[in-house]
Amino acid sequence: MTFDERVVNGMRVLDAIVDSGSFVGAGELLGMSQSGVSRALAKLEARLKIRLFDRTTRKVALTDEGRRFYAQIGPLLAGLEEAVASAGRGAVAVRGRLRINVDPYFSRIVLGPRLGAFLARHPDLELELTTRDQLGDMIGDGFDLALRFGQLQASTLIARQLMSPRILTVATPDYVRRCGLPRVPADLENGRHTCIHFRDPHTGKAFDWEFHRGAERVVVAPDSQLMVNDAGTLYSVCLAGYGMAQVMDLAVQPMLASGQLVQLLPDWSDERFPLYALYPSRRHAPAKTRAFLAFIESLSHG
């Protein structure tokens, strides 16, 4: 038998009649009129092609077929109630498995060092992070959520901006002593400065060296011997004093505060690089997803 909505509703009505002992009592339990109870039961009997109750003016009693059917559906009804209750708990409890497709830069430099505190707050959550340069088939690959930077390509996924970090140009104090401070973006093209290029995973080319000051935007093309596609390598080479890099402010605040890095061209640091969450539907996001998104948004404030 195929269980459509009418069958399930009829089974609930059947259970309520047995439980209360009457059609009137079933209606009170379910918030239905007596005629509504009768119609639902009649549809179930028509679907099953059996009579479920013997009805007299004084009482309602299950037929032999009705008793056999009710005995069979009892465990099923209990299972449905438990499933509904479990789903309800899942709407408010942060638990279960959450699979996330994450931009490698964000995962390694920003997210990784801060994950411990989040997981400690949610001991019933199992988090699986997969870092990828490209989004790929998020739904087909079984991800609940994806985190991506920059301009998004058109898709059926829902996009929600979580943060918009600034892009800073940085170098070590030792580099500044050797090469001097650039005064304007064009100084990066004068041959005295060394820049570390970072590969754009979408184009395969180096990200432009952009500088924003209010509505003004300047793009320069410094020569470079080195292009990397890994955030860890970018930071290690920069921290070794080799050259200057363009990085996200929320990733380097501790290094700036400790003096390991120095911000260059601070008047030209208005460029933003938004981070988006991508997921399949606007509706009924489980608590685990909502908690993780709130955590990501909090990173831009602390």
In a 3-state reduction of DSSP, which class is residue 291? helix
- Give the chain's residues under pLDDT 50: 1-3, 85, 89-90
Are the C-beta atoms of residues 227 and 276 closer than 8 Å to each other?
no
Q: Is the full-model pTM beyond 0.85? A: no
Query: How do residues 190-200 score in pLDDT, each as one tens digit?
Result: 989 999 999 98
96-164+274-299 under CATH 3.40.190.10, yes or no: yes
pLDDT tens digit string along 28-45?
878 888 888 888 888 888
Domain ranges of the chain: 5-92, 96-164+274-299, 167-268
pLDDT of residue 154: 62
What is the second-level CATH architecture of the domain 167-268?
Answer: 3-Layer(aba) Sandwich (3.40)
pLDDT at 2: 45
Beta bridge partners of 98: 127
Instruction: Give dist(CA 211, CA 302) in Å, integer.
Output: 25
Residue 78: predicted pLDDT: 58
Count other C-beta atoms under 10 Å from residue 108's C-beta: 17
CATH architecture of 5-92: Orthogonal Bundle (1.10)
HEC profile of 12-44: HHHHHHHHHCCHHHHHHHHCCCHHHHHHHHHHH
Question: Could you tell me the two tokens for 293?
Answer: 């998104």
- Residue 24 tokens read as 């009137």
**Matching fold, domains 5-92 and 167-268:** no
Looking at residue 262, its pLDDT comes to: 97
Residue 84 has a pLDDT of 55
